[in-house]
Amino acid sequence: MIEIKRLSDETEQDYFVRICSNKDQYGLSWVEVGQILNEEFGKDHGESKWRKKYAAFQEGMRYAEDKSVSFDDLTAELEIKRRELEKEKIRVQDQRRIYKGYVRDEARVEEMKANMLHEIRLLAQSKPLIQEDFSVPVVSEREGLTVFSDWHFGTHANNAWNKFDNNVFFERVAYLKNRVIQHGIENGIERLHVAVLGDMISGLIHQTIRIENTENVSIQTMRVGEVLAEVVNELSEHFSIDYYCVRGNHDRITPQKDLTLSSESFMDIIHWYVKARLENNARVTFHENQIDEELCEINICGDLVYGVHGHKDRPNNVVENLTLMTGRKPAAVLLGHRHHHFEKEVHGVDIIQNGTLSGVDEFAKDIRATSIPHQKFMVWERELGRLCTYNLRFN
C-alpha cells in the first residue's frame, strides 16, 4: 500500500519533495497533490503554486549538480597544481642541498689551503728552495719544453711489464730531472717551458685504483706538490722557467664522472702548492690559463703550442677542434692521458702525445694496453721550430 501520509520523521521539505516527485507512482494529479499538501500544511494554495514550487526545486537541484561537477573539476585542477608546487619545492630543496655541498667543499678547500700555506711557509724556513749561487745562462736562440704528465703518484704496480711504487716514483723523477738538465745544457737552452698536463696523482676514480693506492688522495696531493716544487726549483738553477698546468681526469675530486664538475680538481691544489712553495723564486714564471683551465697556451720561440690532458680529445681531431674553438692555429698540440708515445703531423701542426711515468698498471694490463713509461723533452729554435724530441724512457 502506498503511503501518502507524512511520516513521523519526515520534514516538511522532505514530504513535499516525496509527494511531488512520486506523484505519477502514487497515481495523483497536480490538483490532488495540491489538496494533499494544503491539508497537511494548512494552506489554501492552488495546484499551480505547488507545481511551480516543485519546478523551481528541480531547477535548483540541476544547478547544484552542475556546480558540483565544476567543483570536482576545480578540485582536480588544484590537486595537480599542489603536486607541481610540491615537486618544485623538492627541486628547490635539492638545489639548495647541492649548493650547500659546493659551499661546504669550497670552505674545506679554503681551510686546507690556509693550513697548507702555513705549513709551506714553515717548510720554506727549514728547507728553502731558493739558492744564491745560480749560474748565469748565456742568451740562446733555443728553448726547451718538457712535458710532465700521468705520474700517478700513489699507485702500485707489480707485473711482468712494470714495477712501480713510491720508491720507484722518486727514482724516476730524479732520473727525469737529471736528463732534462743534461739535454738542456747540451743544447744550450736558456729558457725551459714546463708543461704539467694532469694526472699527477693516482686519485680515486676507479675501484681498482683505490685498491692499488698506497697513499690517500690528500697525501698524494701534498707529496706531488712538494716533488714538483723541488724539481722546478732545481731546474731553475740552470734555466729560466715558464710553468704551465692543466687538469686531468684522475685529479677530479668526485669518483663518479657524471657527478663531477670540471672545475673540481686536486690539480688546482697541486698547482697552488707549487706556486706558494716557489713564491720567492724570481726565475720561475707561472702562466695562468686564459681560455680554460683544461687548455694551456705556450709561446716558445715564437710558436704557439697548446697543451691539454687528452681525456676530452682524440689525436685525429684535436687540431681541428682546438683551432676552431680558439680561432688560432697552433704549431703543435701536446697531449697526455693515453700512456704511450704518439706523434703525427696534420696540416703542419705536430700532435705530440706524452707517455706515463708510472707505467703499466692493472687497468692498462686488463685492456691489453702495455707501453714503455716515458716523458718528453723537446728543443725549439727560433725560425726553425721544433728541432728534436727526447723520449726519456724508464726501463
pLDDT of amino acid 212:
41
Q: What is the pLDDT along the chain (395 residues), one digit of tens a residue?
A: 467 788 888 898 888 888 898 888 888 899 998 998 998 889 898 888 898 888 888 888 887 777 765 556 667 777 887 788 888 888 888 888 877 776 776 776 677 677 777 767 777 777 777 655 555 445 579 999 999 999 999 888 999 999 999 999 999 999 999 999 999 999 999 999 999 999 998 765 444 444 444 456 677 888 899 999 999 999 999 999 999 999 988 565 554 444 444 445 778 889 999 999 999 999 999 999 999 999 999 999 999 999 999 999 999 999 999 999 999 999 999 999 998 889 999 999 999 999 999 999 888 888 888 999 999 999 999 999 999 999 999 97
Among 237, 122, 233, 239, residue whose Cα is nearest residue 188 = 239
Query: What letter represents residue 343's amino acid?
Result: E
103-157 pLDDT, tens digit each: 776 776 677 677 777 767 777 777 777 655 555 445 579 999 999 999 999 888 9
| CATH top class, domain 128-393 | alpha beta
Phi, psi of 110, deg, nearest 5: -65, -40
User: In the prediction, which pLDDT does 263 show?
Assistant: 44
Place of cell 706524452: 354
- pLDDT at 66 (0 to 100): 73
For residue 326, which of 290, 287, 350 has the smallest C-alpha distance?
A: 290
Contact 116, 264 (CB under 8 A): no
Residue 160 neighbours by CB distance under 10 Å: 8
Q: Which of 309, 308, 286 is nearest to 296 (CA)?
A: 308
What is the rounded CA–CA span in Å between residue 107 and residue 15?
A: 78
Q: What is the largest CA-CA distance in the chain?
A: 132
Cα dihedral 319, 323, 328, 329 sign: positive
Residue ranges per structural domain of the chain:
1-93, 128-393
Say how many C-beta atoms besides its own lie within 10 A of residue 192's C-beta: 24
Q: Do β-strands 157-158 and 163-164 pair in parallel, antiparallel, or remain unpaired?
A: antiparallel
Confidence (pLDDT) at 373: 95
Which phi and psi angles does 293 have, rounded to 5°?
Answer: -70, -10
pLDDT at 135: 56
pLDDT of residue 208: 45
